[in-house]
Amino acid sequence: MVVGFALFYLAATGILSWVAASSTCSGSTREDSYHPKVQPSERSGDGCYMGDLFEASIGVSILNLCDLDLASKTFYSEGMLWLKYAKLPDWLDHWDEEIIECPVKALRFVNNVERHDLSLELEPAKPVQDNDGLFIQWVKFSGRFVANQLDLRRFPFETIRLPIEVELEDMYASETNLTYRQSGALVATGGELTGYKLKRASVSQWIHRYRTNWGWNLAVSCNGGEDLAEFDNIRVCIDYSRSVRSSLLSVFLPLAVMVCVVLCVPLIDIHQHENRVVIPASVLLVLVFLQDGYKKILPPGLSYPTLADLIYAACFVLTIGVFVGGVITANMYLAATGTGDGLAQALNAQSHSIFIINIAYLIFSISCLLVLTGRRPGRNSP
């Protein structure tokens, strides 16, 4: 029976390790493409107005970030955005009078999810000239944003990235040269989330390619003769890591208590064989409720298992193994009742060996899962 338990645990560890490795290596992809920002002189094709670009710089300051909802992958943020430029290109006079008077209105928040609740306040109403000769205008924004590429494979020890994307929606990438200008701290105040710690904040520049031109034939000549649209994109990324102490106390402490109970079951004297069956059966039920507890804060229908899922699965395997072992030893003891204490002593000794195997399996399997899920999945998008 000891050899059977060892083989059972070895097979279970192999299956769990395969699941962890396959889910980690299968990175997510996105159909709408992001390409690295290139200088206007390096862009292919003549574009629409390559001789008269709208050259501007953009700045962002995050003032508040809160109300993270992992289930919907959304968060609330407010901050300040500003656009700074020297002059407007001549061709813009024939395009949109509102943009001419207020170029900052050409900026759009790509990943805003509740546009009816998005608050935009212009300060001042029209651009003003700074002492460096450039025109500047600010936009105070607040609203909910979505983090589509939220990676929860390492939950509850995950590091998450919350992005805020801004792009010029009324001007194609071949018509503009938008750059990011750092002006002080990116996260101006606070930035703390409940249960998370702020790790870093960064800004990256991209060309966002949409696989449609929305019926605008002029876009074909502006975008290399293809039916697509490309826009200058600025992405602000704020990285958070979950508090280790909070995760251990809320997710794994109850699990550790139940596992300790299960591990001690083989040490129960064979004369108390009923407890060898009842205790692991009860623990199985408790594990189901414990797993349901943390599942409620995760997005429904995740396409991959989290680290917590895999560790709970390893503990389920352990509990089932102890339960089956309790049933087998109880049946052997009952079948041999009246033949003396020799069999009882042999079963107790065998149970002590199984106790050691259970501990070895638990340490080995969880170590494998931690190593395998620690590898970052490949990504095709920024």
Residue 46 sits at φ, ψ, to 5 deg, of -85, -20
Kindly state the percentage of the chain with pLDDT values over 90: 31
Binning pLDDT at 50, 70 and 90, where does residue 320 land? very high
Torsion 200-181-139-230 (CA) sign: negative
Bigger pLDDT: 105 vs 31: 105
Tens-digit pLDDT profile for residues 257-312: 999 999 999 888 888 888 889 999 999 999 999 999 888 888 888 888 999 999 99
Are 370 and 307 spatial neighbours (Cβ–Cβ below 8 Å)?
A: yes
Question: What is the identity of the amino acid at 199?
Answer: K
Domains in the chain: ranges and CATH: 2-24+245-373 (1.20.58.390), 31-243 (2.70.170.10)
- What pLDDT is stored for residue 375 in this prediction? 59
DSSP codes of every residue in 80-107: EEEEEES---GGGGGT-HHHHH-GGGGE
Q: How far is CA 23 from the centre of its chain?
A: 14
Tens-digit pLDDT profile for residues 146-164: 998 888 889 999 899 999 9
Tens-digit pLDDT profile for residues 199-256: 888 999 888 888 877 776 666 666 666 777 788 889 999 999 988 888 888 889 999 9
Average pLDDT estimate for 77-88: 90
